[in-house]
Amino acid sequence: MIATLGSDARARALAKDFPILAQATSRGKRLAFLDSAASSQKPQAVIDSLVHYYTHDNANIHRGVYELAARATEHFEAARAKVAHFINAAEPAEIIWTRNVTEAINLVSYSWGLGNLKPGDAILTSQLEHHSNLVPWQLLAAKTGAELRFIEVDEHGIHQLDDLDERLRGVKLVALSHVSNTLGTIAPLETIIPKAHAAGAVVLIDGAQSAPHMKIDVRALDADFFGVSGHKMCGPTGIGFLYGKRALLEAMPPFLTGGDMIKRVQFTTTTFNEIPWKFEAGTSNIADAIALGAAVDYLEAVGMDWIHAHEQAMTAYALERMRELEPLGLTLYGPPNPADRSGIVSFNLGDAHPHDVASILDTEGVCIRAGHHCTMPLMEKMGWTATARASFYLYNVEEDVEQLIAALRKAAQIFKLG
Amino acid sequence: MIATLGSDARARALAKDFPILAQATSRGKRLAFLDSAASSQKPQAVIDSLVHYYTHDNANIHRGVYELAARATEHFEAARAKVAHFINAAEPAEIIWTRNVTEAINLVSYSWGLGNLKPGDAILTSQLEHHSNLVPWQLLAAKTGAELRFIEVDEHGIHQLDDLDERLRGVKLVALSHVSNTLGTIAPLETIIPKAHAAGAVVLIDGAQSAPHMKIDVRALDADFFGVSGHKMCGPTGIGFLYGKRALLEAMPPFLTGGDMIKRVQFTTTTFNEIPWKFEAGTSNIADAIALGAAVDYLEAVGMDWIHAHEQAMTAYALERMRELEPLGLTLYGPPNPADRSGIVSFNLGDAHPHDVASILDTEGVCIRAGHHCTMPLMEKMGWTATARASFYLYNVEEDVEQLIAALRKAAQIFKLG
Amino acid sequence: MEDFYKEYILDHYRNPRNFGHLERADAAAEDLNPLCGDKIRFELEIEDGRVKDVRFSGKGCAISQASASMLSESIKGEKLEDVVRMSREAVLENVGIGISPARMKCALLGLKVLKSAALGEIAGWPD
Amino acid sequence: MEDFYKEYILDHYRNPRNFGHLERADAAAEDLNPLCGDKIRFELEIEDGRVKDVRFSGKGCAISQASASMLSESIKGEKLEDVVRMSREAVLENVGIGISPARMKCALLGLKVLKSAALGEIAGWPD
Ligand SMILES: Cc1ncc(COP(=O)(O)O)c(C=O)c1O
Ligand SMILES: Cc1ncc(COP(=O)(O)O)c(C=O)c1O
């Protein structure tokens, strides 16, 4: 009961902003949503933004001269400015809308990667990465002849940096997740990024698990590219963005081509538009971009520092309570020091398979994720078939942890553990 | 008053399903929305689908074992099945979700195009194409050394097919829009597709302007690829799809890579998932895909044949009424025979620039588009700086045409025409 | 408590029948559930078009393992053609607990793999 | 009717001032509004750091053409440095009609092009 006391009352109030959390399960259980790392729930303000857009402003943007089109364009570009401010980009033009962080990473891989890598070069990533920040680099390496290298992690999922200088030799691109979605590890970017730059590399950060949960300052980090998924930060599905430094984006060829990203088209030649539109081909996801702007407004009103502190407190509390279950066979993974990790807790319960644990928890209203969490190579390295994962967000409260613990006891009982 | 009488009452009733249409402009004018070719308005059922999803079902799909995730997955895949049925695909696995038709075309260009074209091959498109079905082929031609060839159109925008056999020589890909977004021309696909196949070419159809407005049967057409944007067919922004024949899709390498499209990932190698998921990297636009399913339900309940007939009638009526303005300098473009065109009418009014015409119409509550309509090469060929364009959908009624005519008279008066 | 973790499910999970490998397999197949990483392999010894012996291996949840284990018990002596025709319903009935849609793939992974092993054998028949 | 199609706007549209090309231009620039395809070109003759003569060309809507035409009238004899510092507000005031946000780019395209011509000249100063 120690850690969460301070922030629990506010989180309880905030949870009321999320209508889905008030809904009981089909078995009549209270919903304890502990899977925000997969996708967060949405506050009413974001849902209202969508309804408002389609009810009052909907029209295609940029080229329309009538009122609706002007309003849609204005709100759409205002959302870009909000997002730019949210991560402290120098200007809105450095924000490119994408479907999700996966598309953001692929954009860099195709547009920057194909033109800048050759045999003898290397790409450096880590053993912690989500498939979305790994498979594109495997393919890029195969296409360009570059080598794919890994920063190793120890048994807690902590980056091993002793030989970083050596590993950086010949590296043209460093691609790292800010926070691991499986273990919650926060990457030591303040050490890695300056060294990467000194070695002449460009740095891409996968911010899928950081931007929703802590204040991001891309300029203080000095990240060259930074990708984010809106659906994990209270925004709708289908919208995310890539931040890129202007000079890099300007030098890159377009990726997807078509309407809206051109300046002039003739039958056989085309002149491309300026950034950010150069990278936004076809009709954008207008409504969802605007709703992501509403999500950013919501998060900023709550306060990113408060969110981070609340999640740290929740995590410390959850870890403490889960340790009570160690006699039943519960094993916790990830950095032992709560300060080194975000609100993500991976674990296993005896020989019960995480899928079965998650199914039993589901019958108790507790939503967790089970499996490889799109980090198969990490699982293989660690020798785990799968893990169960609980993750926290601003709307989680002590009661969610209580419910988790009780449901885990039930699972242990069914599996006759302990 | 001839043509529309039959369907006007029903359209008037349907318009009530679209809440935005009840909204007056800031100047207090009735909204006459005549820009559906750019993006359609959304029925309440589609807005409700979004609200319902975020309020009751939201969770990341495919990997979750809890109730919300199972429901989200079920609705998401059900929407794919609805879309497959809507265009008469053989199976849902032949439908790949994309952001819009532009991304669908780019997917084919990168995944099919790069692997199947070489110097000496040719790509055949037409002079009518939207930039989204032209620029990707320009770039593909530049990358592969293939030649880009055009089916010419006459001064009405009608395809000239006399030398089609000759033009098809060496062609590996034919990429055509089903309906021109600038002139409304319906392409003679029943002539072109069999000849293209006989010449050994694969055929991609840009269905952006056809799927929303007429019954599509991809198997009867025998199209190999067919792309659609959801936002033009009563669906939300940010979702569209690519249809592809199974054998083609299976033979193609993935395009975007990352989470969800893999079967197994190791540090250096990856096995990809089956279609359609092989092409859907990262978290999909779940809510909007489901809402597009709701749009399809809506359109099917209205009846695609009724929609087509209503638009033909509206267009015939509008053309007749607009001809009354010829003494004021109004010029109509596109196929003279209404049966050869869909509900799109491009025109100019004397020496008034279409932008100015659109601005004046806006003050009267009439929303039209003005400019090059993302078909710059066509404009250049025709010698037009720009055109004004009115386009019709299921919710347009006679009154919209009356309002258009009255506003055009006002514009002519301001520009002292006639 | 829900009916879906019955004693015998746990028993099959912890003590899977016919688990391991055959010395001489006439047919074999394996597959992965890409969504969870569960993996199952089936090996068959065939005599006169019938399953003479069977082994399965792999790892996964109680539902997938128990389902595969029960499946392995039920097919000994069966004709390959009947194995190929086995219905999902029969397998689910055999498992005997309510399976939620989200877990359907777990319960049916064994059947999928077993059928591809049997189909492979049938397809290869002539030689 | 709205105030935004005043007589003088139409007059500038149909009879643009300083329209055409200079025989000898010291500085020139052109740009396209990618959203509508409007195109404007400005050519300047410079003497002692001042605009001695000016021509513009291109095509587009009444607002962009009238704005460019009025702009061309207002800069003759002005110092290049002042041209570069001209504000959007000054141009909009000059146009003198309410411009909706959607038409802002039309009204300001001329200014953008004029400034790049002048800036190019200033940047090229030393040689
Ligand atoms: C014929 C045609 N093709 C392609 C497009 C591009 O559609 P989107 O911007 O939704 O990708 C459009 C829409 O403007 C169109 O009309
Ligand atoms: C660290 C990390 N990177 C990338 C992704 C992929 O995100 P998306 O599926 O939204 O593209 C995720 C989300 O699962 C993630 O946690």
Of the candidates A64, A67, A263, the beta carbon closest to that of D34 is on A263
Angle between helical axes of D62-74 and D7-14 (0-180°, round to 10): 80
D117 in a structural domain = yes
For the cut 50, the answer to whether the pLDDT of residue C1 exceeds it is: no
* CB-based contact, B355 to chain D, within 8 Å: yes
CA D98 to chain CA centroid, nearest Å: 18
Sign of CA dihedral B210, B211, B217, B222: positive
Residues A357 and A370: beta-carbon distance below 8 Å: yes
- Take residue D45 and report the two structure tokens written for it: 């003759």
DSSP structure string for B222-258? T-SEEEEEGGGTTPPTT-EEEEE-HHHHHHSPPSS-S
Ligand 2 nearest-atom number relative to CA B282? 9
Closest CA to C61 of C99, C114, C93: C99
Sign of CA dihedral C79, C81, C82, C88: positive
- Take residue A4 and report the two structure tokens written for it: 């969460």
Distance A336 CA to ligand 1 centre (A): 52
D1 in a structural domain = no
User: What pLDDT score was predicted for residue D36?
Assistant: 66
Residue of A35, A351, A355 to mutate, testing the C interface (most C Cβ within 10 Å of its Cβ): A355
C1 in a structural domain = no
- Residue D28 pLDDT grade (very low, low, confident, very high; cuts 50, 70, 90): very high
Distance between CA atoms of C78 and C46, rounded to whole angstroms? Answer: 10
Closest CA to B106 of A257, C102, A176, C79: A257
Distance between CA atoms of D76 and D54, rounded to whole angstroms? Answer: 7
Sign of CA dihedral A331, A334, A340, A343: negative
For the cut 90, the answer to whether the pLDDT of residue D16 exceeds it is: yes
Distance between CA atoms of A397 and A33, rounded to whole angstroms? Answer: 10
Distance A332 CA to ligand 1 centre (A): 51
Distance between CA atoms of D105 and D108, rounded to whole angstroms? Answer: 5
User: What pLDDT score was predicted for residue B300?
Assistant: 98
C44 in a structural domain = yes
Distance between CA atoms of B280 and B257, rounded to whole angstroms? Answer: 8
Distance between CA atoms of B207 and B225, rounded to whole angstroms? Answer: 10
Q: How far is CA B44 from CA B17, B47, B82, B165, B307, in A?
A: 6, 5, 19, 48, 18
Ligand of minimum distance to the alpha carbon of A130:
2
Residue B231 CB coordination number (10 Å) = 31
Which residues of chain B register pLDDT less than 50?
1, 3-4
D36 in a structural domain = yes
For the cut 60, the answer to whether the pLDDT of residue D127 exceeds it is: no
Residue A181 Cβ < 6 Å to ligand 2: yes
Amino acid identity at B416: K
Q: How far is CA D87 from CA A3, A266, B211, D84, in A?
A: 56, 34, 47, 9
Residue of A27, A71, A102, A252 to mutate, testing the B interface (most B Cβ within 10 Å of its Cβ): A102
Residue A206 Cβ < 6 Å to ligand 2: yes
Per-residue pLDDT of C72-96, as tens digits, reads 999 999 999 999 999 999 999 988 8
User: What pLDDT score was predicted for residue B135?
Assistant: 97
Whichever domain contains C28, its CATH number is 3.90.1010.10
C34/B263 Cβ within 8 A: yes
- Residue C104 pLDDT grade (very low, low, confident, very high; cuts 50, 70, 90): confident
Distance between CA atoms of A409 and B217, rounded to whole angstroms? Answer: 55
- Take residue B298 and report the two structure tokens written for it: 């809506």
Residues B153 and B126: beta-carbon distance below 8 Å: yes
Report yes or no on chains A and D touching (3+ CB pairs under 8 A): yes
Residues A67 and A57: beta-carbon distance below 8 Å: no
Of the candidates A356, A371, A379, the beta carbon closest to that of C62 is on A356
Interface of B with C in 259-298 (CB under 8 A): 262-264, 273, 277
Of the candidates D1, D14, D62, the beta carbon closest to that of B356 is on D62
Residue of B262, B283, B284, B285 to test ligand 2 pocket, by largest number of atoms within 8 Å of CB: B283
- Domains in chain A, start-ordered, CATH in brackets? 5-30+303-414 (3.90.1150.10), 47-301 (3.40.640.10)
Within B53-125, residue ranges assigned H as helices are: 67-86, 101-107, 114-116
- Take residue A327 and report the two structure tokens written for it: 């006699």
For the cut 50, the answer to whether the pLDDT of residue A1 exceeds it is: no
Residues A367 and A27: beta-carbon distance below 8 Å: no
User: What pLDDT score was predicted for residue D1?
Assistant: 37
Ligand 2 nearest-atom number relative to CA A177? 1
Ligand of minimum distance to the alpha carbon of B135:
1
- Residue A84 pLDDT grade (very low, low, confident, very high; cuts 50, 70, 90): very high
D63 in a structural domain = yes
Using left for φ > 0, alpha for ψ between -120 and 50, and beta otherwise, residue A285 falls in beta
Catalytic residue among B196, B261, B374, B378: B374
Distance between CA atoms of B237 and B288, rounded to whole angstroms? Answer: 8
Q: What are phi and psi of C27, to 5 degrees?
A: -150, 145
Distance between CA atoms of B394 and B13, rounded to whole angstroms? Answer: 10
User: What pLDDT score was predicted for residue A351?
Assistant: 95
Ligand of minimum distance to the alpha carbon of B232:
1
Q: How far is CA B283 from CA A98, A236, A369, B287, B306, in A?
A: 12, 11, 15, 11, 36
Amino acid identity at B25: T
D55 in a structural domain = yes
Active site residue A374: yes
User: What pLDDT score was predicted for residue C124?
Assistant: 63
Which of residues C38 and A17 earns the better pLDDT score?
A: A17
Angle between helical axes of B286-302 and B304-323 (0-180°, round to 10): 80
Residue of D2, D4, D31, D35 to mutate, testing the A interface (most A Cβ within 10 Å of its Cβ): D35
| pLDDT above 90 coverage of chain D, percent | 66
A367/B66 Cβ within 8 A: yes
Residue of A21, A65, A286 to mutate, testing the B interface (most B Cβ within 10 Å of its Cβ): A65
Q: What is the mean pLDDT of residues D45-55?
A: 95
For the cut 60, the answer to whether the pLDDT of residue A347 exceeds it is: yes
Of the candidates B35, B100, B288, the beta carbon closest to that of A59 is on B35
Ligand 1 nearest-atom number relative to CA B181? 16
Distance A231 CA to ligand 2 centre (A): 10
Amino acid identity at C6: K
Contacts of D103 in chain B (CB under 8 A): 355, 359
Q: How far is CA B117 from CA B113, B151, B205, in A?
A: 6, 19, 18
Per-residue pLDDT of B28-46, as tens digits, reads 999 999 999 999 999 999 9
- Residue C126 pLDDT grade (very low, low, confident, very high; cuts 50, 70, 90): very low
Query: Nearest residue on chain C to A377, judged by CA atoms?
Result: C37
Distance B258 CA to ligand 2 centre (A): 9
User: What pLDDT score was predicted for residue A368?
Assistant: 97
C82 in a structural domain = yes
Distance between CA atoms of B408 and B402, rounded to whole angstroms? Answer: 10
Amino acid identity at D63: I
Residue of B102, B134, B185 to test ligand 1 pocket, by largest number of atoms within 8 Å of CB: B102
CB pairs under 8 A between A and B: 299
Closest CA to B357 of B344, B342, B347, B372: B347
For the cut 90, the answer to whether the pLDDT of residue A134 exceeds it is: yes
Residue D42, H or E segment: strand D39-47
Of the candidates A67, A136, A359, the beta carbon closest to that of B26 is on A67
Looking up tokens 């008034």 gives: B352
C5/A414 Cβ within 8 A: yes
Ligand 1 nearest-atom number relative to CA B374? 14
Distance between CA atoms of A142 and B108, rounded to whole angstroms? Answer: 21
User: What pLDDT score was predicted for residue B315?
Assistant: 95
Q: What is the mean pLDDT of residues A318-332?
A: 97
User: What pLDDT score was predicted for residue C4?
Assistant: 63
Where does residue D98 rank: exposed (0-12), middle (13-18), buried (19+ CB within 10 A)? Answer: exposed
**Partner chains of D (3+ C-beta pairs under 8 Å):** A, B
Q: What total number of domains does chain D contain?
A: 1
Distance B164 CA to ligand 1 centre (A): 25
User: What pLDDT score was predicted for residue D103?
Assistant: 86
Ligand 1 nearest-atom number relative to CA B129? 1
Distance between CA atoms of B122 and D114, rounded to whole angstroms? Answer: 43
- Residue C3 pLDDT grade (very low, low, confident, very high; cuts 50, 70, 90): low
What domain range is C101 assigned to? 7-123
Average pLDDT score over chain D: 88
Query: Nearest residue on chain B to C104, judged by CA atoms?
Result: B65
Give me the numbers of helices (H) and strands (E) for chain B, helices first please.
15, 15
Q: How far is CA B408 from CA A227, B8, B318, D118, in A?
A: 47, 22, 12, 40
Asked casually if ipTM beats, i.e. exceeds, 0.90, the reply is: yes
Residues B136 and B106: beta-carbon distance below 8 Å: yes
CB pairs under 8 A between A and C: 48
Contacts of B278 in chain C (CB under 8 A): none
Closest CA to D27 of D41, D15, D13: D41
For the cut 50, the answer to whether the pLDDT of residue C127 exceeds it is: no
pTM: 0.96
How far is the alpha carbon of A110 from chain D, nearest alpha carbon, in Å? 25
Distance between CA atoms of B245 and C114, rounded to whole angstroms? Answer: 29
The half-sphere exposure of D20 on its side-chain side, counting CA atoms within 13 A, is 7
Per-residue pLDDT of A247-301, as tens digits, reads 999 999 999 999 888 888 888 888 899 999 999 999 999 999 999 999 999 999 9
